[in-house]
Amino acid sequence: MNLVNYKEEAQNLDKDDDLKSYREKFFFPTTEADHCIYLVGNSLGLQPKNVRDFINIELEDWAKYGVEGHFHARHPWYSYHELLMETGAELVGAGKGEVVHMNGLTANLHFLMVSFYRPREFRFKILCEGKAFPSDQYALESQVKFHGHEPEDAIIELYPREGEHTLREEDIELAIEEYKDELALVFMGGVNYYTGQLFDMKRIAAKCHECGITVGFDLAHAAGNVPLNLHEWGVDFAAWCTYKYLNSGPGSISGIFIHEKHSKSPELPRFAGWWGHNKKERFKMEPGFDPIPGAEGWQLSNAPVLAMAPHLASLEIFKEVGMAKLRAKSLKLTAFLEKLVKAVSAENGAKLEIITPSEPENRGCQLSLLTHGYGKELFDYLQTNGVFADWREPNVIRIAAVPLYNSYMDCYHFANLLNEALKKY
């Protein structure tokens, strides 16, 4: 297969890319190959080069001030989490006070379900997408068991129609309508981790509220990847990690969103901790929890500053670029990658099937490739030759061209190696 024309196209697209300079703001892993094609930002984003400076500030101030760094550090630790709130809210389309960062993603989902999964005698079921990320599955299973129900009775999983790979939006709405008298919660991933399908969260939220059902989303694969407008969509709650598209380090801090209609309700049940208590009264150390209005009232422990510093560094980049520009490039970059994969597949007897939706509005950066007739040796060949991608059993390769640091030439080089691998195996 002659990929020369595609190479010229990639070079021209890179030349005209307004965001190409941001590639230089990230570290790329070293490989035994003479290049690194990093297409796995949907699993772990690259390290921004400014992270070291942000962490060193806190290490230096810890050394200089000790405990007094809570108030005298350059970024006082007492209020450190507040540095993340404004830009964090902008990223997910939240209003003032609706976002805070704390804990890890699955821990936050459990804490949020204390407030938002309130099963009653006849309305105790949870509707979710089938093949959700395992951690979400385990969280839902343990939540319904905690409330005295069995997962097979309380969890309704939606799967695509026979012969299809993704859910139809109308089928989601039909399921909500069908089970509306039994559902206590609808909980889904904003972007499905396996197929890369972006769900219409606005439409789902509207249908849930029409039926009197609480709705929440796991945005691990959506935050920093696709435009979000959680406040306007009326989403009740959401949580996300920051180590994928938000480039904030392995296992880093999680963000939560709680709509203001809930976040300013002190009577809403929650598990409390002292960092969510009235700031003016916090150090009186008295009994009786008085929650801070807004999402801050769900905090438990004081800010993990060294985990938050990388996220603050990354948010600086996101604030500078903006999601509108990132989405514009993402649409072009993913479309180019899709075109290349289809061309390579056609050249090799259509052995690859992209199971991610073809409509740009129904996906983000990720493309999931179903490898008909191939085992993991195909993926291993790519990996040996400098490609960072992701293998999901039994035969799916996930790739994501991230607009902040991936180039069109990355897509071309990947396609070239994919073509070699298909011919070899």
34-69 tens-digit pLDDT: 889 999 999 999 999 999 999 999 999 999 999 999
- In whole angstroms, what is the distance from residue 133 CA to residue 6 CA? 35
Indicate whether 62 belongs to any domain: no
Split into its structural domains, the chain has a count of 2
**How far is residue 191's CA from residue 367's CA, in Å, rounded to a whole number?**
12
184, 127 Cβ separation under 8 angstroms: no
Whether residue 133 sits in one domain with residue 212:
yes
Alpha helices (H) along 257-407:
260-263, 305-321, 323-347, 376-384
Residue 278 sits in the same domain as residue 365:
no
**Could you tell me if 277 and 347 lie in one domain?**
no
For residue 359, give Cα distances in angstroms to 199, 331, 363: 12, 10, 7
pLDDT digits (tens, 9 = 90+) for 162-219: 999 999 999 999 999 999 999 999 999 999 999 999 999 999 999 999 999 999 999 9
Question: Of the residues 262, 290, 321, which one is the last residue of a structural domain?
Answer: 321
**Both 361 and 287 in a single domain?**
no
Exposed / middle / buried, residue 212 (Cβ in 10 Å: 0-12, 13-18, 19+): exposed
Residues 303 and 327 in one domain: no
Asked if the structure places residue 210 within a domain, the reply is yes
| Residue 54 is assigned to a structural domain of this protein | no
Claim to verify: residue 358 and residue 294 sit in the same structural domain: no
Q: Are both 156 and 260 inside the same structural domain?
A: yes
pLDDT of 2: 65
Structure tokens at 214: 């609480």
CATH number of the CATH domain containing 418: 3.90.1150.10
Q: Are residues 211 and 156 in the same domain?
A: yes
Residue 363 lies in a domain: yes
- Domain end residue (candidates: 304, 321, 338): 321
Is residue 4 pLDDT above 80, yes or no? Answer: no
Same domain, 311 and 334: no
State the Cα angle at 313 between 198 and 89, rounded to 5°.
45
Tokens describing residue 97: 């006070």
What is the per-residue pLDDT across 242-271, written as a single tens digit (0 to 9) for each? 999 999 999 999 999 999 999 888 889 999
What proportion of the chain, given as a percentage, has pLDDT over 90?
91
**Is 307 in the same domain as 361?**
no
55, part of any domain: no
Report the pLDDT value the prediction gives residue 148, as an integer from 0 to 100. 96
| Amino acid type, 332 | K
Residues 6+ apart with CB under 8 A from 262: 115, 116, 236, 237, 268
Q: What is the pLDDT of residue 348?
A: 87
151 burial class (0-12, 13-18, 19+ CB within 10 angstroms)? middle
Same domain, 193 and 308: yes
Determine the structural domain holding residue 13 and report its residue range. Answer: 4-47+323-424
Does residue 52 form part of some domain?
A: no
The pLDDT of residue 32:
86
CATH number at residue 168: 3.40.640.10
Whether residue 333 sits in one domain with residue 251:
no
Give 350's pLDDT tier (boundaries 50, 70, 90): confident
Is 390 in contact with 379 (CB distance < 8 Å)?
no
In the structure, what pLDDT confidence band is assigned to residue 1 with cuts at 50, 70 and 90?
Answer: low
Residue 28 is encoded by which pair of tokens? 């790329």
Does any domain span residue 299?
A: yes
CA–CA gap between residue 162 and residue 368 (Å, rounded): 19
Check pLDDT > 80 for residue 3.
no
161-186 residues labelled b (16+ CB within 10 A) or e (exposed):
eeeebbbeeeebbebbeebbeebbbb
Within 13 A of 276's CA, how many CA atoms are on the CB side? 26
Q: Which of 321, 353, 378 is the last residue of a domain?
A: 321
Asked if residue 32 is part of any domain, the answer here is yes
Residue entry with tokens 């509108």: 324
Question: 25-31: long-range contacts at Cβ-Cβ below 8 A with a sequence spacing of 24 or more?
Answer: 25/49, 25/50, 25/317, 25/404, 25/405, 26/247, 26/404, 26/405, 28/405, 29/388, 31/386
Distance, CA of 362 to CA of 44 (rounded, Å) = 22
Q: Which of 407, 388, 408, 406 is nearest to 398 (CA)?
A: 388
